[in-house]
Amino acid sequence: MSNLVGHDVQRSERPETPRALRITISIFAVLYIVLCLTAAAYALAEVRRGWAEPASVWSMVVATAPLILVLPLAWSRWARWAGPCLVLVLPPPAVLSVVLYVDGGFGSNVEWITPVMVFGGGVLLLATVVLSVTVFVKTARRVIPQEILGGDYYAIVMGEPMGPFSGEQLSQQAQTRAVHPETQVSRNGGQWFPAAEVPGLFGRQGDKQFITAVLLAVFTGSLGIDRFYLGYTGLGVLKLLTCGGLGLWSLVDLILIATGKLRAADGTELAR
């Protein structure tokens, strides 16, 4: 970590989507694009032999087009939305392959492409959901508590005093885990004390774990287990009976948990 003297942190600034996550999203999209175009190529070969319908080729190409649009999105300023978009455009080609398989759009020699597309699409879909949650966590804005905005702070990092930091800068360091609750800090050159004592810097954390809540939302959200875990028993039962609001409620809760908007029932923040 470098000394941040003289560098102002804009309160409205959102962290950039990490390059590694952009690359991963692009790889996921390219893998399925290759799979879809392979299916289209095999279907074209079957059409030339008279064993499949020409519509099977064009429909597969059309279904692949939205996947291609994810690539420039992943490297734009709106990269955090590339994952959710990929989640939306992954299922149509797999569903189309099933329809073509049932209707005989694929010749008998390439019937294997359907289970490959369905299985591959399912794996990539699940991986993209987890990746999207990670992106939203990494790029979430952090509300700067008013209590820490005034004054200059110094922090002991790796044995060396560093600063001065503004309240915004100290909050950013806490968000990136460069400053921990036990880190010694000083305000306006005064006495040293643990950063956990800075009002609102880390929030009031409870015993519910952030990563546990995210994993429950991803894998058991339709059963309401995430709501039960956070202490919302009534909502957990309702979510269970509605199968996660037919999936929509589960998706909303996943986003709320990942962005830190949904706290435990007792009002405490999830521990990270």
DSSP 31-69: HHHHHHHHHHHHHHHHHHTTSS-HHHHHHHHHHHHHHHH
Regarding pTM above 0.75, the answer is: no
* 120 and 219 fall within a common domain: no
Model pLDDT for residues 236-267, shown as the tens digit of each residue: 888 888 888 888 888 888 888 887 788 888 77
Q: What pLDDT, on the 0 to 100 scale, is given for residue 227? A: 92
Residue 210: both structure tokens together: 């952030």
Strand pairing report for 184-187 and 160-165: unpaired
Query: Does residue 85 carry a pLDDT above 80?
Result: yes
pLDDT tens string 134-166? 777 666 655 555 445 556 788 887 777 777 777
Tokens of 126: 């699940």
Average pLDDT, the chain: 77
Are 38 and 113 within 8 A, CB to CB? yes
Helix (H, G, I), strand (E, B) or coil at 242: coil
Counting the structural domains of the chain, the total is: 3
Q: Are residues 81 and 117 in the same domain?
A: yes
User: Please, what is the end-to-end C-alpha distance for the chain in angstroms?
Assistant: 21
Taking residue 192's Cβ as centre, other Cβ atoms within 10 Å add up to 13
In a domain, 216, yes or no: yes
Helix-strand-coil percent breakdown of the chain, rounded to 5? 60, 10, 30
Same domain as 60, residue 133: yes
> Does residue 35 sit in the same domain as residue 125?
yes
Q: Using pLDDT thresholds of 50, 70 and 90, give the confidence band for residue 72.
A: very high
**Cβ 246 vs Cβ 233: under 8 Å:** no
Q: Do 94 and 34 share a structural domain?
A: yes
State the Cα–Cα distance between residues 182 and 166, nearest whole angstrom.
19
- Average pLDDT rounded to a whole number, residues 209-213: 86
Which residue, among 19, 3, 2, has the nearest Cα to 164 in the 3D structure?
3
Residues 184 and 164 placed together within one structural domain of the fold: yes
According to the model, what pLDDT value does residue 3 have? 39
**Statement: residue 87 has pLDDT above 80:** yes
CB burial of residue 145 (10 Å; 0-12, 13-18, 19+): middle
- Structural domain that includes position 190: 146-197
Residue 213 within a domain = yes
* Domain harbouring 175, CATH code: 3.30.1490.40
